[in-house]
Amino acid sequence: MGRFHPHADGTMHRHTDNHDHDHDHDHDDHAVPRDVGDHSGYTATGTARIEVLEDILSENDRVADANQKDFADAGVRVVNIMSSPGAGKTTLLKRTLERLGAATRVGILEGDIATSIDADQLEGYGAAVSLVNTSAGFGGECHLDAVMVRSGLARLPLPDLDLLLIENVGNLVCPAEFRVGEHAKAMVYAVTEGEEKPLKYPVMFRAVDVVVVNKVDLLPYLDFDLDKFLSNLKAVNPGALIIRASARTGEGVAEWCDWLLGQAGGTT
Amino acid sequence: MHELSIAEAIAQKVRERATGRPVAAVAIRVGHFRQVVPDALEFCWTMVTDATGLEGCRLEIEQVPATVSCQDCGATTTLDVPILLCESCGGTKVTLMTGQEFMVVSLEIMEV
């Protein structure tokens, strides 16, 4: 439904000042269903359409690019970790920090709507932790965007790090929409969440490079059909690496850490 | 619920382009695959505009359906739900053709 119908009739209105546009407009064609227009508020003076055609998130992407440049300058590789609430991101991070030890200099940027509970849990493992609470504005954001990450970076010694792990806000929808400047995206998925989620949240599942299928120690007690889940996952993201893991028992943590070190360009 | 962030991003673009002129409407184009809830976005838009000098600026949302093209049978499917399947052969090897649009299309500036 083209909103900009070129027309020869330029006499419908008269411009009284200079506009930075050179296209035709059509003031009779507000072809939007819910806008059955009472335009009386402004038609007396006339209106003019100016074309914008810019991505809504271009400002976020601009800051994400700036973040990525800072990461490159500091020589740090960055992984954005996403999941539902309660899938086990924080516990997996604890196991990760234990395993990587002092050989890899890790920073954590911890995103939470409110509280420092997760960030506090990650203290004492030798990693630099920066907490970003997203509730500074109205309501509390359900994701980290590039600007929030940038604010958190100021509290991290980037040049001293090899790897920065961003623990995003627990949510299967919103974080997938916002680039923050990361090099790779990872997802932690708990087997308690059911087999169908890749089909219900395809944007998130498509966006990630690796899926850690967590809490597999619970499989004997669940009806969860792992093969069905993997088939659903392959349908939306055939290229994702899949790691079976249990942050509780330690299963899969080595493989996950190897993948992280691969991102950071190092080895165990 | 990332509609508030999106409403703020739209308002920022509107202010940049309007450079102080009053704005009657902003037209945006949103693909169905962008997980935006139009009603929630309109609610957030009212909240954002009332606070930032864009009071009364209408938000015109043009929604673009998600379509996929099947790599196996070549059929094009318009998706009613965000499940990437070919309607014709049931295949999962599909390429998303439309539905990821996310753009501020135009502004309607009031001439005074």
Top-confidence residue, A22 or A194: A194
Top-confidence residue, A103 or A40: A103
- Measure the CA–CA gap between A253 and B5, rounded to whole angstroms: 35
The answer as to whether B48 is a domain residue is yes
Domain around B105: 3-66+98-109
Q: How many domains does chain B have?
A: 1
- Paired with A129 in beta bridges are A108
pLDDT in tens, A7-16: 343 333 333 3
B15 touches chain A (CB under 8 A): no
In a mutagenesis test of the B interface, which of A56, A113, A228, A232 is the best target, namely the one with the most B β-carbons within 10 Å? A56
Pick the closest to residue A193 from A85, A81, A82, A95 (CA basis). A85
pLDDT in tens, B20-46: 999 999 999 999 988 898 999 999 999
The answer as to whether B80 is a domain residue is no
Nearest-by-Cβ selection for A56 from B28, B62, B112: B28
ipTM: 0.87
The answer as to whether B91 is a domain residue is no
Closest-CA distance, B78 to chain A, in angstroms, reads 16
CA B47 to chain centroid? 18
The answer as to whether B85 is a domain residue is no
The answer as to whether B78 is a domain residue is no
Tell me the CA distances in angstroms from A68 to A180, A181, A261, B6, one per residue in order.
8, 5, 18, 22
Question: Quick one: pLDDT band at residue A180, thresholds 50, 70, 90?
Answer: very high
What amino acid occupies position B4? Answer: L
Q: Which residue in chain B is spatially nearest to A26 when comparing CA positions?
A: B108
In a mutagenesis test of the A interface, which of B50, B71, B109 is the best target, namely the one with the most A β-carbons within 10 Å? B109
Cβ contacts from A onto B, under 8 A: 122
**Cα-flanking dihedrals φ and ψ of residue A235, to 5°?**
-65, -35
Closest-CA distance, A157 to chain B, in angstroms, reads 28
**pLDDT of amino acid A63:** 96
Question: Quick one: pLDDT band at residue B70, thresholds 50, 70, 90?
Answer: very high
For domain A58-264, the CATH architecture is: 3-Layer(aba) Sandwich (3.40)
- Paired with B96 in beta bridges are B68
C-beta atoms of B103 and A56 within 8 A: yes
Domains of chain A by residue range: 1-53, 58-264
Closest-CA distance, B73 to chain A, in angstroms, reads 16
C-beta atoms of B35 and A203 within 8 A: yes
The answer as to whether B86 is a domain residue is no
Nearest-by-Cβ selection for A48 from B2, B12, B111: B111
User: Average pLDDT for residues A155-176, to the nearest whole number?
Assistant: 93
C-beta atoms of B110 and A47 within 8 A: yes
- Measure the CA–CA gap between A148 and A48, rounded to whole angstroms: 36
- Measure the CA–CA gap between B103 and B110, rounded to whole angstroms: 21
Dihedral of CA A150/A155/A159/A164: which sign? negative
pLDDT in tens, A18-53: 444 445 444 444 444 444 444 444 444 688 999 999
What residues 58-77 of chain B have any CB closer than 8 A to a CB of chain A?
58, 60-62
- Measure the CA–CA gap between B30 and B16, rounded to whole angstroms: 20
Q: Which residue in chain B is spatially nearest to A203 when comparing CA positions?
A: B33
**pLDDT of amino acid A266:** 53
Above 70 in pLDDT, residue A6?
no
Radius of gyration (C-alpha) of chain B in whole angstroms: 17
User: Average pLDDT for residues A127-156, to the nearest whole number?
Assistant: 84
Largest CA distance in chain B: 57
The answer as to whether B81 is a domain residue is no
Q: Which residue in chain B is spatially nearest to A59 when comparing CA positions?
A: B9
**pLDDT of amino acid A45:** 62
B29 touches chain A (CB under 8 A): no
What is the CATH classification number for the domain harbouring B46?
A: 3.30.2320.50
The answer as to whether B61 is a domain residue is yes
Tell me the CA distances in angstroms from A256 to A125, A247, A250, B94, one per residue in order.
18, 10, 10, 29
Residues in B closer than 8 angstroms to A54, CB to CB, are 13, 103-104
